[in-house]
Amino acid sequence: MIDTELKKWYVVRAVSGQENKIRSYMESEIKRLGHSSSVEEILVPTQKVIQIRKGKKISKEKVYFPGYIMIKANLSGEIPHIIKSLPNVIGFLGETKGGDPVPLRVSEVNRMLGKVDELSSESENIAIPFSNGENIKVIDGPFNGFNGTIEKVNEDKRKLEVMVKIFGRKTPLELSYMQVEKL
């Protein structure tokens, strides 16, 4: 059994957009070659992002540090070579040619992991950038392109009551924050 004190955090540079695929391949390759005891954790820092697609909210995991995978391991023996020889892996962050991979400082790890924890627990609190009487333009939905005036901001429902002139008549609409922009 290897002492956990020898395990440090390192950053593996990888092809951007392939982080999760590389992580799972790395895990299976290390297991296959019998080095599981030397590698404690492989992490791809992600954050939840709310996107609006066709008027619907979609929650998506977005890689926080594109092109980087964090790994907590005892990088002795063949392990650095195994990791570097995987497809789409560029190498370790901070290593010099022919030198050993440089571990992250504890302060950096705590900051990165703290940031990751903070991002995953962060609720989707969107600041309300609108106020009553403000002129807006509808940018999404059936009334796309119409201009209007905010009558009421409903914070609980995250909606705006907007008065829009349609065919010369003022018509009240209920729209989400994401469907409008300031003029």
Domain definitions of the chain by residue range? 4-121, 135-182
Task: Give yes or no on whether 4-121 and 135-182 have one common fold.
Answer: no
For residue 76, the SS3 value is: coil
Give the Å distances, CA to CA, from 136 to 53, 127, 133, 141.
20, 17, 9, 14
Domain spanning 4-121: which CATH class is it, in words?
Answer: alpha beta
User: Which of 27-31, 93-97, 142-146 is predicted least confidently?
Assistant: 93-97
Instruction: Write the CATH number of the domain with boundaries 135-182.
Output: 2.30.30.30
The confidence score (pLDDT) of residue 135 equals 93
Query: What does the pLDDT look like over 158-167, one tens digit per residue?
Result: 789 999 988 8
44 Cβ contact partners less than 8 Å away, ≥ 6 residues apart? 19, 20, 23, 63, 69, 70
pTM of the complete model beyond 0.85:
no
Lookup: tokens for 160: 């705006």
Lookup: tokens for 1: 């059994």
116 pLDDT above the threshold of 70 = no
